Structure 1
Amino acid sequence: MRIAVSGSHGTGKSTLITELAAVLPEMIAIDEAYDVMLSDGAAFGERLRVDDFEALCEREVELVDASNGDLVVFDRSPADYLAYMVALDADAPSRKLITDVGEAMEMIDLVIFVPVEEPDRVRVTPELPRLRKRVHALLREMLVEDGWGWGVPVLEVRGSMEDRVHQVVKHVASLR
């Protein structure tokens, strides 16, 4: 089963994955493409640009395609990086990239959508708050509302981290 934890920056995705790993020992956690590329020696500027997000998106597609295991959980999905590209420049993604993202998303069995909540649960002020809200809205459209037609099941989690973990564990158990 492939699960992607998706959401804008500063919503608690990585923390959720860490907490899930503590209660789902069989889970294989896959770092987000940004961290994978950094560990592979890639260099990014202080602020990511559209072409950076394109490279990240392509790498995330590769990570999904190469994954296997009973319970694989991705920190981000290809849709996340596509949303950042669209938020920065709606005309930036090529048709090929959109097709590749769609094919990768169809390989994912469940998306855990971590929204920006009101009041915001993030204790530190995230960088680029406008971009954060724009990406949140795009991901909601793409995933929750299935506006891009990928048809991937989505579980939107809310509440405390304990509540979020409980929601995911209960949902995953129902799918097994």
Structure 2
Amino acid sequence: MKIACSGSSGSGKTTLVTFIAEKLGIQHISGSAGDVKQEGDKMIVDEVYKYPGGGHVGVIRYSALNPEYGLMNQKLLQMRRAQIIRENDNFITDRSPADNLAYFINQMAYHPMITDALTEEFMRDCLKAWEELDKVIYVKAVQPHEVEVNGSRVSNRFYQKSIDAQFEYWIKNYFIPNAIDGPDVLIIDYWDLETRKAHVIEFINS
């Protein structure tokens, strides 16, 4: 069973993924950018382009000024997350190929160097990894409070809502209709944690 949880930062993915992993006794593989990078990746991306750090916000700001860095970083994250899906089994991860595409479009598509052809190539790579999954849980940004500040993520809830709209669009209009024998998808559009837990276990066991 290959399961991925997808959604914007602060939507509650990690809480849900941790519960599922413990409940089903499967491996939880972190899909966060810092965790998926392997030895040598930091040199390839961060040191070559002199990225100064600063979490998610820092990456966005630096990518805006250095599109070559942004493109390399997004390609690397896509490759590493696809590698997790390809090389592991019986796991759940808190990022999916939809995350890669949504953030690529959000952070990179306005650069003149990001052509339609380059974007379509990135989309195909994401779709190929998506097709290897068995289940995807898309958690919408519906929390009734401010986005939790953790020192890395963007805490502006309107930014979160805009990213969530990207997720919904690409999942419903690209991944689901174009995947060949793709994963089953559950969309969670409510906040109550106990209801979420009950529904995801029923979904995974179906």
Return the offset for 1:134. 2.2
Mapping of residues 41-56 of structure 1, within 5 Å: 42=42, 43=46, 45-46=53-54, 47-48=58-59, 49=63, 50-51=70-71, 52-56=73-77
* 2:186 partner SS: strand
TM-score normalised by length of structure 1: 0.82
Letter paired with 1:171: F
1:137 aligns with 2:165: yes
Map of 1:147 onto structure 2: 174
Return the offset for 1:122. 4.6
CA contact (8 A) 2:6 2:13 kept: yes
Alpha carbons of 1:123 and 1:159: their partners in 2 closer, same or farther (altered >3 Å)?
A: same
TM-score normalised by length of structure 2: 0.71
CA contact (8 A) 1:33 1:57 kept: no
Mapping of residues 69-148 of structure 1, within 5 Å: 71-90=90-109, 92=114, 94-117=119-142, 119-120=144-145, 122=147, 124=149, 127-129=154-156, 130-143=158-171, 145-148=172-175
Return the offset for 1:11. 0.8
Letter paired with 2:84: L
Cα root mean square deviation, aligned: 2.5
Q: Which runs of 5+ in 2 are unaligned?
A: 64-69
Letter paired with 1:4: A
Total equivalences in the alignment: 170
* 1:20 partner SS: helix
Q: Which runs of 5+ in 1 are unaligned?
A: none
Could you report, residue by residue, the CA deviation over 1:84-132 in whole angstroms, capped at 9, with x for unpaired residues? 1101232645433221111110111111001001634755596253442
Map of 1:161 onto structure 2: 193
Alpha carbons of 1:10 and 1:33: their partners in 2 closer, same or farther (altered >3 Å)?
A: closer
Mapping of residues 30-69 of structure 1, within 5 Å: 30-37=29-36, 40=39, 42=42, 43=46, 45-46=53-54, 47-48=58-59, 49=63, 50-51=70-71, 52-68=73-89
Q: Which structure has the bigger radius of gyration?
A: 2
Q: What is the alpha-carbon distance in structure 2 between the residues aligned to residue 76 and residue 135 of structure 1?
A: 14
Map of 2:24 onto structure 1: 24
Alpha carbons of 1:170 and 1:159: their partners in 2 closer, same or farther (altered >3 Å)?
A: same
* 2:174 partner SS: coil
Letter paired with 2:160: R
Return the offset for 1:146. 3.4
* 1:112 partner SS: strand
